[in-house]
Chain A
Amino acid sequence: MEMEEERADQSEAAEASADVNADANANAGGGDASPPAVELRRINKRFGAVQANRDIDLAVDRGSITGIIGENGAGKSTLVSILYGFYTADSGEIRIDGTPIRMAGSADAIEHGIGMVHQHFMLVPTMSVLENAMLGREGGPRLAEGERSTRARMAEVSAAYGLEIDPDALVGELPVGLQQRVEILKTLLRGARILILDEPTGVLTPQEADRLFEILEILKRDGVTILLITHKLREIMAATDAVYVMRRGEMVARRRTRETSQEELARLMVGRDVLFAVGGEPGEPGAPILAVESLGHADERGAPRLTDIRFELRSGEILGLAGVAGNGQSELLDVLSGIAPPQSGRIDFAGRTFTPASPANPSLLRDMGLAHIPEDRQQRGLVLPFTASESSILGYHAGAEAGGGIFLALAAIRERCGLLMERYDVRPPDPGLRCGGFSGGNQQKMVVARELSAAPKALLVGQPTRGVDIGAIEFIHSQLIEIRDAGCAILLVSVELDEIMSLSDRILVMNAGRIVGEAARGEADADRIGLMMAGVGEPAAAA
């Protein structure tokens, strides 16, 4: 869990929390007399030195959709994991329909009618939908009887809520949207009347997300109580009746959705005003620096991951690459950065041509001025047990930054790292601290600092703000704009469509390893791009 982010002082939040509780009581008092479906009282949970949840109070009305919003690491997932019996709270009380219950494990939660759709699906990919649905409630030591009854119940529930699915399909072979459907179905089959969804739209296309919210509406009409955890303000505004805001492990506000606004919620989440439009002025594209021609790549099993990729990247522009995760974006970054070899096509970069016969390698490309902010900062961007100062020269360890000779110029590296940390607002600015000790946002800022300080001609960026809090997102975005204006060419890969749309001068859309569409700045709208991401809509037209 990314709990390190809560290290900072709690005093301000604690203050806010006091008026929230008053607020919550006032709001709760307005309704009917029946007790809330779910009530949490003074929940506390600590992981080592990190207080993930502090004195959390929460009340969810029966048959409502209630949102919990907060930045990554605000403690939302921990809180619902406690409600689902996955973690045990250090102190506090859980009440279902007004009755305090004992929660020792997920079995207790299920027994009290709580179901949860986790952010990472709790499915066994090698088993069928039916087997997954049965797991944990097989109806006896032999499977045959349970299979019959589960199949029948599944047909019933599927029909009632519009959750059609083939019970004999292998879960691992289903698209993520359908896998999520299996998760929801599973909870309903277990008799859930309280449904928790943790970041349910992270892996979905906009259309799949719309379909999900339709399903949630149907469930709500049927009296199911829904708790929706997300960091996307738009979803909260569109789908919920009430919303709780969490910040740094505390519940800082409760609002009725129709009485609040995105701006207010964002301010509550971050603790200050947030600028929504970062894009600013459009870039002034110059000469092409990176050109890709009919590029193809297959994974080690021979399955094609990239097919006929072609595009041009110009100096001084940000080219956004939109797509649902897993449609070839990661592979494209690997090939462009020289980590994986292409099997066909050619790449022209800064006057040199790379083909399958003469492939590039990351260090050569880096020397030629191609920097890379990888998608997974913890696996590829940093060595977590290394100190910040050691990580600040990763990939540049043979260059002048590191001393240039056989020996590392440790003192100089340390001093330079200290300057970078100040310039890029890495907190705490201590070059001697191990990378693993920084929060996600600060780790990402260290990677950004290292790559941008090399003053690259072109920059590959993968998911620059995944798992990063809003403050750091703003900062990273402004840095990208700044280096673009300085003439750097940027290829921005992100699964956050908002990020792509607000930063990019031009947008390419990927689906199933192909570039399926292109949109210029200004003419891009989320619906059209969403359809292209889903593989419907325009024919391939990126040549």
Chain B
Amino acid sequence: MSEFAFQILLTLDATLRLATPLIFCALAGLFSERSGIIDISLEGKLLGSAFAAGAVASVTGSVYMGLLAAVGVSISMSLVHGFACITHRGNQIISGLAVNILASGLTVTLGIALFQRGGQTPTLGPNERFQPIELPFADALAQAPLLGPVYDELVSGHKLLVYLAFIAVPLAALVLTRTRFGLRLRAVGESPEAVDSAGVSVPWLRYRAVIVAGILCGIAGAYLSTAHGAGFIREMSAGKGYIALAAMIFGKWRPWSALFACLLFGFLEAASSRLIGVEFPIIGEAPTNLMLVLPYIMTVVLLAGFFGRAEAPSALGTPYVKEH
């Protein structure tokens, strides 16, 4: 296998790792927004749950306790957002923004108060992090031509949560299209009056949607600090929540298309860090900053609607008011 092909393989491998938090977050956003609740608080939930995972894993010594804490924190942040938007019919953007600001401030404050390390949590040991899973026969097959390295490098050797992300996509699609919950969820985002007149509670349905979003976002946060990284760092979500939101919109609020968009963003991120310092024909050495900013530029381009207008759920962002 040539050096170039191997580099491609490594880039794709990194793509999967970098896309994982985006996939969880995009699915989280998808559940929330298909129910009609705009979720820009993905970013804050991601950050908050990353901190919770890092802190709890470090204190208890168990990565799973960390995961549990992350999910718990993320759900409670979702419920705050839900309480403002569903029960009190507040502005969903403002509420989301408030959650984000809260997460940004609180993680640093609590981090400094608890660990006195400038907002970081202590570096996590092996038991406090997710470990790579070697799939069966990876070593044995590594020498096989073509598919061997693909299996060994690309498919095998990821952490549990990466595999979970790729299982979550078909699962989400299945829930949306083939279950009662999914049918009602899709309906409540398009036409809450129809759901109400069918005798189904609109608020309870939307609360369940934001709780699902909370669970998924919590897993993404745990991945950041206890799988991808080795502890929590200030502002470690670094806009990934927003990028996931962009991916979900680019994916037209559908699981498979959102997965594709997440992989695209993951690939851009993986490629950009690999291209730093590489000599190009004409332009010479790729500028570091430009490369790092590439995924964010792409977000703006995609959201600006350069690739066809996306059709949002019609009740998205509109509080359901029955009496007026």
Contact = CB atoms under 8 A, between A and B. Distances in A.
Q: A and B bound? A: yes
Interface of A: 1, 47, 84-87, 105-111, 116, 118, 120, 122-127, 131-132, 134-138, 140-144, 146
B199 A107 contact: yes
Contact of A106 (B178, B179, B187, B197): B197
A85 B200 CA distance: 12
A194 to B, nearest CB: 15
A136 B198 contact: yes
Contacts of B324: 1, 47
A105 B199 contact: yes
Interface residues of B, number: 25
A122 B323 contact: no
B218 to A, nearest CB: 24
A126 B314 CA distance: 10
Contact of A127 (B186, B199, B200): B186
Nearest to A138: B180
Interface string B292-324: 000000000000000000000010000000111
A141 B208 CA distance: 15
A127 B181 contact: no
Contacts, number: 85
Contacts of B194: 122-124, 132, 135
A127 B198 CA distance: 15
Contacts of B186: 124, 126-127
B195 interface: yes
Q: Which 8 A-B pairs have the closest CB atoms?
A: A136-B198, A107-B199, A138-B180, A122-B194, A122-B197, A106-B199, A124-B191, A124-B187
Contacts of B178: 142-144
Contact of B195 (A86, A136, A144, A146): A136
Given A143-B179, A143-B183, A120 B198 contact: no
A87 B323 CA distance: 7
Interface of B: 177-184, 186-187, 190-191, 193-201, 314, 322-324
Contacts of B184: 135-136, 138
A136 B178 CA distance: 15
Contacts of B187: 124, 127, 131, 135
Given A141-B179, A143-B183, A106 B198 contact: yes
What DSSP secondary structure best describes chain B's contact surface?
Answer: helix
19 contacts: A87-B322, A87-B323, A106-B197, A106-B198, A107-B199, A108-B199, A118-B193, A122-B198, A123-B194, A126-B190, A127-B187, A132-B194, A135-B200, A136-B195, A136-B199, A138-B180, A138-B183, A140-B180, A142-B179
Contacts of A105: 199, 201
Nearest to B178: A143
Nearest to A146: B180
B203 to A, nearest CB: 12
Contacts of A144: 178
Contacts of B190: 124-127
B39 to A, nearest CB: 20
A116 B323 contact: no
Contacts of B177: 143
Interface centre among B193, B199, B323, by most chain A C-beta atoms within 10 angstroms, is B199
Nearest to B201: A105
Contacts of B181: 141
A124 B197 CA distance: 12
Contacts of B322: 86-87
Contact of B197 (A86, A111, A126, A140): A86
A354 to B, nearest CB: 30
A110 B201 CA distance: 14
A84 B183 contact: no
A280 to B, nearest CB: 40
A143 B180 contact: yes
Nearest to A110: B199
Given A87-B323, A134-B183, A123 B191 contact: yes
A323 B208 CA distance: 44
A110 B153 CA distance: 58
A1 B324 CA distance: 7
A87 B177 CA distance: 31
A135 B323 contact: no
Interface centre among A118, A135, A143, A146, by most chain B C-beta atoms within 10 angstroms, is A135
Contact of B193 (A110, A111, A122, A138): A122
B180 A106 contact: no
A185 to B, nearest CB: 13
Nearest to B190: A124
Contacts of B196: 86, 106, 122
Contacts of B323: 47, 87
B313 to A, nearest CB: 8
Contacts of A47: 323-324
B179 A84 contact: no
A201 B178 CA distance: 35
B315 to A, nearest CB: 10
Given A135-B184, A143-B178, A125 B199 contact: no
B191 A125 contact: yes
A284 B124 CA distance: 92
B195 A135 contact: yes
Nearest to A141: B180
B215 to A, nearest CB: 18
B197 A118 contact: yes
A140 B184 CA distance: 12
A109 B200 CA distance: 12
A503 B321 CA distance: 39
B252 to A, nearest CB: 12
B312 to A, nearest CB: 11
A358 to B, nearest CB: 30
A111 B314 CA distance: 29
B28 to A, nearest CB: 21
A324 B106 CA distance: 58
A168 to B, nearest CB: 14
Given A141-B179, A142-B179, A143-B180, A136 B200 contact: yes
A53 B58 CA distance: 63
Contacts of B195: 135-136
A142 B314 CA distance: 25
Contacts of A118: 193, 197
A119 to B, nearest CB: 11
B202 to A, nearest CB: 11
A107 B187 CA distance: 17
B190 to A, nearest CB: 5
A110 B323 CA distance: 20
A480 to B, nearest CB: 32
B197 to A, nearest CB: 4
A539 to B, nearest CB: 37
Contacts of A146: 180
Nearest to A87: B323
A180 to B, nearest CB: 14
B254 to A, nearest CB: 12
A144 B193 CA distance: 25
Contacts of A107: 199-200
Nearest to B188: A124
A111 B199 CA distance: 9
Given A106-B198, A107-B199, A122-B194, 18 more contacts: A1-B324, A47-B324, A84-B197, A86-B322, A106-B196, A109-B199, A118-B193, A120-B193, A125-B190, A135-B184, A135-B187, A135-B195, A135-B198, A138-B183, A141-B179, A142-B179, A142-B180, A144-B178
